[in-house]
Structure 1
Amino acid sequence: MIPYSEAIEQSIEEKTKIYTINSIRIATFLCGPLAAGYLVSQNYKAFDQREKVTITWIISAGALIAIVVLAAFTSSIERFPKVVFPLAYAWGTFLLVQKFQGEQMREHFAAGGKTFTIWRALLAGLICLVVTLAVIFVILLMIPGALEE
C-alpha cells in the first residue's frame, strides 16, 4: 500500500497538464505576446519553476510594448506588411520555448504527461487579446486627439 503523501504526489503529477509548443505558437500568432506570457508561465508552474513565472510576464509585457511602439512607427509606411509583427513574435516565442522548456516538455511527454487542448490555449489567448486591446484603448483615450481623425 502506498503512503498517503506519496499517493497525493502521484495524483498531482498525473493531473499536471502543459501547453504544447504548437499550441503556444498558434495562440501567440493569433492573440499576441501576452498570450505567450500566460501559456509559458503556466508551463513553468507545471514544471515547478515558479521563479521563472515573473520573468516570463516581464518579457511578454516588454515584447508587447516594443511591438506597439514599432507598429506606431511603421504605420506611416504605406507598403509595410502587417503580418511581420505576428510572425516575428510567434517565431521568437517558439524559439525561446524550445530552448528553455523543450527538455522539460520532452520529459513530460516521455513520462506520459498530458496536455491542454489547443482550444483552451486559444481561449486563454483570446482573453489576453481582449486585455491587450482594452489597455491600448485606455492609453489612447488618455492621449489628447489620438482617437480623432
Structure 2
Amino acid sequence: MEHSQATEKPVYKIYKEGAIIVGTFLGGPLAAGYMIAENFKAFQEPQKVRKTWVYAIFATVISLIAIYLIPDEGNIPDYTVPMMYTAMAYSLVGYFQKKAIAEHTQAGGAVFSWFKIICIGLLYFFITLAAGTLVLFLLDSYGFLSADGHSE
C-alpha cells in the first residue's frame, strides 16, 4: 500500500518555536536568523533563507546600536533589548512558520535537541560579542569614541 506524502514521517529536523525563543534570547538576532533560515530550508522555502539572514544581520546592527545608546544611569533594565528581539523572533516564527512546524511535529518529524539549541545560542552570542568588540575597538582607534566610550 502506497502512503501519501502527508502521512509520511519527515526525515529532516527542525527548530520548534520555543527552541527558537531560547536560542534567540541567548544568542541574539543572528541565532534567530540561523534557526529560522534552517527551518525555511527544511520546509523547502529557499527564497526566504537569504532574506532571513539579511533581516537577522540588520536586527543585530540595530540591537548593538540600541545597547550602545542606552545610558548607563537610566531606568531601562539591561534585559530590555534582548526581550525586544526575542519577542520579534517569536512573532516572526509564529507568522511565517507556526503552521509548518505544527504539521512537521504532528507527522512525527524530529526536532533539534536542547543541547544543540543552547550551543547555537552561545556560539552566536560570542560571535556578536566579538564583532561588537571589534567595531568598538576600530571606532576608538580612529578617534570616533570619547574617553567615556560614547561617540563625541
Gaps of 5+ in 2: none
CA RMSD of aligned residues (A): 2.2
2:91 paired residue number: 95
Q: Any runs of at least 4 consecutive aligned residues in structure 1 with deviations exceeding 6 A, and if so which?
A: none
TM-score, normalised on structure 2? 0.83
The AA in structure 2 aligned to 1:120 is K
Higher helix share: 1
The 5 A counterparts of 1:1-149 are 14-144=10-140, 146=145
Relative to structure 1, is the Cα distance of residues 71 and 142 closer, same or farther in structure 2, using a 3 angstrom cutoff?
same
Task: Work out the CA distance in 2 between the residues paired with 1:91 and 1:14.
Answer: 28
Q: Is the 8 A contact 1:27 1:125 kept in 2?
A: yes
Percent of aligned pairs with the same amino acid: 31
Output the amino acid matched with 1:143.
Answer: L
The DSSP-based 3-state class of the residue aligned with 2:97 is helix
Question: Contact 1:140 / 1:147 at 8 angstroms: preserved in 2?
Answer: no
Instruction: State the Cα deviation string for residues 89-109 of structure 1 (Å, max 9, x = none).
Output: 111101110110011111111
Contact persistence 2:10–2:109 (CA under 8 A): yes
- Structure 1 residues without counterparts, runs of 5 or longer: 3-8
Q: How many corresponding residue pairs?
A: 140
